Amino acid sequence: MRLYLILLLSALTLLAGCGQPARFHATEIPDVDWGKTFSLQDPRGRTRRLEDFRGKVVVLFFGYTHCPDVCPTTLTTLRDVMGLLGDEAQRVQVLFVTVDPERDSAELLANYVPQFHPDFLGLRGDEAATAAMAQEFKVFYAKQPAGSSYSVDHSTASYAFDPQGRLRLVMRYGESARNVADDLKLLLSGK
């Protein structure tokens, strides 16, 4: 009898979990009134907008090519995510937006970003377009003098859009590739 009760309780617990809605590891931000679109140049000089990627999950990350830590770490994690997604990676577009257009030329972005994954795309604007996009996405960035050069402090989160182009998730810096891949799979499945 005791074994029967234990098995019954275990079965009920499993069944109760079946009806639970999918949970994201990242922070869900449904129905926000910001982060609606953008208009920046790719390395070939072509204007790119969020609408260009409709039908794909888009991961948007702000950084700069001279970044010593956060940017290469994030791009490496996103490369690993693409590997975990397998064939589904074809339905994901990673966009790297520079917050340092003074140094990050189209040529530099064309060489830097694809080193992490050939399908990743670097985007840039002039100073005004960069500031407008940062404001639209609630991104902080500021030059910090460092001897004869400078570094750029910047926000470290990534944003994920569903295939309909709706901003859905803010993914924190340092999240594991497995958790990000799981979240993107949920977005790809229409959750």
Mind spelling out the 3-state secondary structure of 92-148? Answer: EEEEEEECCCCCCCHHHHHHHHHHCCCCCEEEECCHHHHHHHHHHCCCCEEEEEECC
Consult the annotation and say whether 67 binds a ligand.
Answer: yes
Q: Which amino acid is at 125?
A: G
Question: In a 3-state reduction of DSSP, which class is residue 20?
Answer: coil
3-state secondary structure of 150: strand
Q: Closest Cα to residue 164, out of 23, 24, 37?
A: 37
Binding residues: 67, 71, 154
Binding residues for Cu cation: 67, 71, 154
